[in-house]
Amino acid sequence: MTELRLPARGLILLVGVSGSGKSTFAAQHFAPTEVISSDWCRGIVSDDQTDQSATPDAYDVLQYIVDTRLRRGLLTVVDATNVQPSARAALIEVGREHDVLIDAVVLEVPDSVAVQRNLERADRNLGPGTVKRQAQDLRRSLKRIKKEGFRRVHLLNGPEEIDAARIVREQPWNDRTELTGPFDLIGDVHGCACELSSLLLKLGWELEYDDAGRAVGAAHPQRRTAVFVGDLVDRGPDTPGVLRLVMGMVSSGSALCVAGNHEAKLVRALRGKRVTVNHGLAESLEQLEAEDERFRRDALEFMDGLISHYVLDEGRLVVAHAGLKEKYHGRTSRRVRDFALNGETTGQKDQDGLPVRGAWQTDYRGGATVVYGHTPVTAAEWVNNTMCLDTGAVFGGELSSLRYPEQQIVSVPAQRQWYPPPRPIGPVAGGRAGSALKITDVIGQRWLQTEHAGKVKIPEQNAAAALEVMSRYAVDPRWLVYLPPTMSPVPATAVGEHLERPEQAFEDYASWGVQRVVCQEKHMGSRAIAVIAKDAAAAQRRFGIDDGFAGMIYTRTGRQFFEDVTPLVEGLRDAVAPLLESLESDWLMLDCELLPWSAKAEELIKHQYAAVGAAAGAALPAAVSLLDQAAARGFGAGPLHDLGQLRDAVAQRLQNAWAFRDAYARYCAPADGLTGVTLAPFQVLASEGEVHTLTKSNAWHMEQLAQLDHPLITATRHRYVDLASPAEWEAAAQWWADLTVSGGEGMVVKPADVAQRRVQPGLKVRGREYLRIIYGPDYTDSLDLLRRRKLGKKRQMAQREHGLGIQALADFIGGEPLWKVHQSVFAILALESDPVDPRL
């Protein structure tokens, strides 16, 4: 019985003449979806599996499918004759493009068998000539097939051997996804044996020593696994000591190690290849010379056997010496190995003649954490879910490690500078200050996974609209870690003079199982998100803002408030000082309303609201007086009998217009810089380590904010309602009526305690007079129509945007890369561009 060891995620070409049994073989050993057959593709493009004229198009389709499957990391078996080298070459090219292993399985049967099988098939009429020609092609090319680029060519000779074959799927060596840690990932050691021992001890490892007192192994009491990122050797004082310890750990199973470029070169040197002896190679060779022959042989074997990268923890962690872009994770090819060992080379050299390295990590968008070394940096720092652990121990820096999954960095300082650095050491490229966003992070249709609103779809055209607003007007994305969600109103009342009433909110919340709600006065102003850092250093540390600013206040579409926001930021910092202290944080974010409305919206008020008032004020009194004049002509009855009714209607409109005018004027104050501007905060969105909007009750937020006593702060009046108590309903409704009778905006009702996910985060209940600003002066005459408004979509949006906002904050607090936070924030803006009745 022949055992075929095939790459579990590679490309398999079946090779054999028509009638050699490829399809039967494929059906026997592979899932139907794993097999792509040329016949099937021919059928797809021509409705006739035997139409040879469709072959070129069929191969286009076949290659496209193979390409897609390989990109997605799936085993793919091509069932086609593949008897000509050119046919195989095209597929090998596709396989190489995706850096997978490619095997060929050749099925050889006597020509007579193939011819006979073809005759027996009703759906095909290939003559003996065709089959024989194929057989000839195959035999001719078999001699050289091994050189075509296959990892292995498996030959099955004759029907019996074909029938008896057994398939073993081999996982790639780099696939150690079954190891789930916990891990201690250790940066470039470069022969710093003492520092390595100190670091291991600091990490809680117990070292084992041989008779000569040399460390030869280590184990961790909590059974942690060490993972070395390569470059154990060269430059440092004791390369053999490092090798001895790491080899011991690897062979006992307490450590893994990937290959570094220095190991690769040392291997070549030890094998006697001609290499330039520089960059500390001489030290290694000299130190190894002092070791015995056997150690040298073991070390050579160890280093030669190191593989280029590991995929660990069910695919969540990738370790490679110089890092690895996502496309290469778990892949196997020469260029993957080159990348893993040497990094991305740009082909350029700097002024010292050293190769310029590409900053692959700035483009990295993968879900797996990538830990690497290779390029010494001043500090280990997250960049897009990647971390470089080479903190230049051998150059007098530190030897660093990352505890995974704890994400804790543990370092020991170098005893001294063992080797001068070839170039100055700087921070990692793409770190906080240089974090770049990519257009592909935001445009096009996308689905975002959120913890609190499930999967949210962002349609392409919404993203396109948001891109314009975001890039033309929004503040620096590093400040913009949140945008406020929209909020739904209550359902319209069925009868009466009001469109909205508190009872509707109470009924909704009661029906969702909420027991206690808080009613917050709704301030009519402009929604504002305030980000306040204690000082510029805190802003730099937490937000990566490096221009000396220590705070930002922006609108609900991300625009900065006022041309110069600094005085407001400084005032607010002063106002929230007690809160920063009690939260033990050097920054915080508040969700507020900026008052008065006219401070920001004056242009809108003038164009939209005052203009309507002015037109009404000019036209309606004139109309009333003309109607009066006509009525005075003495036609009280007869043809002019309905004039009185018309006059009353117009007079009523005039009254409505004045009420409308009073409603907007109430929120206007003469503007003079920031004089008279205040903020009414109603949520502490987040501070260091915590997303308060997620974890704390609305009652907590009200308590915290009530402590702020500062001229810049307008307090938010509020009260609690036990939904089981009719008396409390009534009292709250009266409170609302008092707030709104003279034009007050109304209130927002929210669950008082931390609520379930599917509950609306808040419902607004707006006052009767205030709603004239929203629905027009005369809306009170059209209540019947407005009651028909539909809330479904608005509520869905409110929930989705709320979920996205929380996701953005949680990702920000959790140290996720900027692009990820930005993606959620961008999505909120995109959803807001969706056509939903803006009056809701």
Partner 1 sequence: MLLTITTTHAPATDLGFLLHKHPDRVQEFPQSFGTATVFYPEAGQERCTAALMLQVDPVRLARTLDKNRVDFSLAQYVNDRSYAASSLLAVALGKVFSTARSGRCDTLQDLADSAIALEISVPALPCRGGAEITQRIFEPLGWSVQAVPVPLDPEFPEWGDSRYIGLRLTGTQRLAEALNQLYVLLPALDESKHYWQSPEEVDKLISAGTGWLAEHPERELITRRYLGRSRRLLDAAQQRLRELDDASSPEDEPFEELPEPPPGRTPLNVQRQQAVLDVLRELGVHRVIDLGCGPGALLARLVEDPIFTTIAGCDVSTAALRQAGRTLHLDRMSDQQRQRIELFQAALTYADERLGGYDAAILMEVIEHVDLPRLPALEKVVFGTACPASVVVTTPNREFNVVYGGQVRLRHRDHRFEWTRGEFSQWVRRVGDTYGYAAEIRGVGEHLEELGSPTQMAVFTRAGVQDD
| 597 scored as a contact of partner 1 (CB under 8 A) | yes
Distance CA 697, CA 755 (A): 8
Q: Mark 480-519 with x for binding to partner 1 (rule: CB under 8 A) and - for no binding.
A: ----------------------------------------
For the bound state, the minimum distance from the C-beta of residue 497 to partner 1, rounded and expressed in Å, comes to 16
For the bound state, the minimum distance from the C-beta of residue 836 to partner 1, rounded and expressed in Å, comes to 8
Nearer to partner 1, 502 or 805 (CB): 805
State which of positions 799-828 bind partner 1 (CB under 8 A).
none
> 152 Cβ partners below 8 Å, 6+ apart?
5, 103, 104
Kindly tell me which residue out of 471, 566, 695, 707 binds partner 1, with binding defined by CB under 8 A.
471
For the bound state, the minimum distance from the C-beta of residue 600 to partner 1, rounded and expressed in Å, comes to 6
Distance CA 100, CA 505 (A): 59
- State which amino acid sits at residue 811: D
State which of positions 600-639 bind partner 1 (CB under 8 A).
600-601, 603-604, 606-620, 622-623, 626-627, 629-630, 633, 635, 639
Nearer to partner 1, 193 or 748 (CB): 748
Nearer to partner 1, 219 or 643 (CB): 643
> 166 Cβ partners below 8 Å, 6+ apart?
1, 2, 3, 4
| 640 scored as a contact of partner 1 (CB under 8 A) | yes
DSSP string, 237-248: S-HHHHHHHHHH
Q: Mark 196-235 with x for binding to partner 1 (rule: CB under 8 A) and - for no binding.
A: ----------------------------------------
Integer angstrom CA distances of residue 316 from 172, 597, 769 = 16, 48, 56
Nearer to partner 1, 146 or 607 (CB): 607
| 798 scored as a contact of partner 1 (CB under 8 A) | no
For the bound state, the minimum distance from the C-beta of residue 677 to partner 1, rounded and expressed in Å, comes to 15
Nearer to partner 1, 254 or 361 (CB): 361
Q: Mark 58-97 with x for binding to partner 1 (rule: CB under 8 A) and - for no binding.
A: ----------------------------------------
Distance CA 802, CA 658 (A): 37
Distance CA 568, CA 133 (A): 85
State which of positions 11-30 bind partner 1 (CB under 8 A).
none
- 3-state class (DSSP) for residue 364: coil
- Nearest-CA neighbor of 369 among 690, 813, 820? 820
State which of positions 324-383 bind partner 1 (CB under 8 A).
363
Nearer to partner 1, 93 or 546 (CB): 546
For the bound state, the minimum distance from the C-beta of residue 783 to partner 1, rounded and expressed in Å, comes to 9
Distance CA 399, CA 268 (A): 26
Kindly tell me which residue out of 643, 674, 694, 699 binds partner 1, with binding defined by CB under 8 A.
643
Show the tokens assigned to 452.
Answer: 């609190």
| 137 scored as a contact of partner 1 (CB under 8 A) | no
| Structural contact between residues 600 and 561, judged by C-beta atoms closer than 8 angstroms | yes
Q: Mark 517-536 with x for binding to partner 1 (rule: CB under 8 A) and - for no binding.
A: ---------x----------
For the bound state, the minimum distance from the C-beta of residue 63 to partner 1, rounded and expressed in Å, comes to 23
State which of positions 646-705 bind partner 1 (CB under 8 A).
646, 649-650, 653, 657, 661, 665, 668, 670
Nearer to partner 1, 517 or 620 (CB): 620
Kindly tell me which residue out of 292, 497, 642, 709 binds partner 1, with binding defined by CB under 8 A.
642
Nearer to partner 1, 222 or 348 (CB): 348
For the bound state, the minimum distance from the C-beta of residue 590 to partner 1, rounded and expressed in Å, comes to 19
Looking up tokens 């960059």, which residue turns up? Answer: 279
- State which amino acid sits at residue 480: L
| 173 scored as a contact of partner 1 (CB under 8 A) | no
Distance CA 645, CA 650 (A): 9
Distance CA 96, CA 187 (A): 31
Nearer to partner 1, 78 or 840 (CB): 840
| 731 scored as a contact of partner 1 (CB under 8 A) | no
Distance CA 510, CA 504 (A): 10
For residue 405, say if its preceding peptide bond is cis, omega within 30 degrees of 0.
yes
Nearer to partner 1, 447 or 635 (CB): 635
Distance CA 676, CA 673 (A): 9
- β-sheet bridge partners, residue 214: none
Kindly tell me which residue out of 773, 797, 809, 818 binds partner 1, with binding defined by CB under 8 A.
773
For the bound state, the minimum distance from the C-beta of residue 434 to partner 1, rounded and expressed in Å, comes to 8
Is the dihedral angle over the CA atoms 40, 41, 43, 48 positive or is it negative? negative
Nearer to partner 1, 269 or 601 (CB): 601
For the bound state, the minimum distance from the C-beta of residue 227 to partner 1, rounded and expressed in Å, comes to 31
Distance CA 670, CA 197 (A): 70
| Structural contact between residues 257 and 250, judged by C-beta atoms closer than 8 angstroms | yes
- State which amino acid sits at residue 366: G
Distance CA 255, CA 176 (A): 13
- Nearest-CA neighbor of 438 among 365, 544, 542, 359? 365
| 476 scored as a contact of partner 1 (CB under 8 A) | yes
For residue 56, say if its preceding peptide bond is cis, omega within 30 degrees of 0.
no
Kindly tell me which residue out of 472, 496, 584, 756 binds partner 1, with binding defined by CB under 8 A.
472
Distance CA 579, CA 710 (A): 12
Nearer to partner 1, 124 or 365 (CB): 365
Distance CA 199, CA 793 (A): 57
For the bound state, the minimum distance from the C-beta of residue 786 to partner 1, rounded and expressed in Å, comes to 7
Nearer to partner 1, 307 or 646 (CB): 646
Nearer to partner 1, 150 or 597 (CB): 597
Residues touching partner 1, count (CB under 8 A): 87
8-state DSSP, 591 = E
State which of positions 529-588 bind partner 1 (CB under 8 A).
547, 555-557, 559
For the bound state, the minimum distance from the C-beta of residue 524 to partner 1, rounded and expressed in Å, comes to 11
Kindly tell me which residue out of 240, 392, 485, 777 binds partner 1, with binding defined by CB under 8 A.
777
Where is 454: in which H helix or E strand? strand 454-458
- Nearest-CA neighbor of 601 among 658, 671, 554? 671
3-state secondary structure 732-775: HHHHHHHHHCCCCCEEEEEECCCCCCCCCCCEEEECCCCHHHHH
Nearer to partner 1, 639 or 815 (CB): 639
Distance CA 68, CA 473 (A): 39
For the bound state, the minimum distance from the C-beta of residue 229 to partner 1, rounded and expressed in Å, comes to 27
For the bound state, the minimum distance from the C-beta of residue 343 to partner 1, rounded and expressed in Å, comes to 18
Q: Give 349: exposed, middle or buried? Use CB within 10 Å, 0-12, 13-18, 19+.
A: exposed
For the bound state, the minimum distance from the C-beta of residue 536 to partner 1, rounded and expressed in Å, comes to 14
For the bound state, the minimum distance from the C-beta of residue 440 to partner 1, rounded and expressed in Å, comes to 8
For the bound state, the minimum distance from the C-beta of residue 618 to partner 1, rounded and expressed in Å, comes to 4
Is the dihedral angle over the CA atoms 195, 197, 199, 202 positive or is it negative? negative
Nearer to partner 1, 307 or 668 (CB): 668
State which of positions 411-470 bind partner 1 (CB under 8 A).
434, 436-443, 461-462, 464-470
11-35 core/surface letters (b: 16 or more CB in 10 A; e: else): bbbbbbbbbbbbeebbeebbeeeeb
For the bound state, the minimum distance from the C-beta of residue 376 to partner 1, rounded and expressed in Å, comes to 22
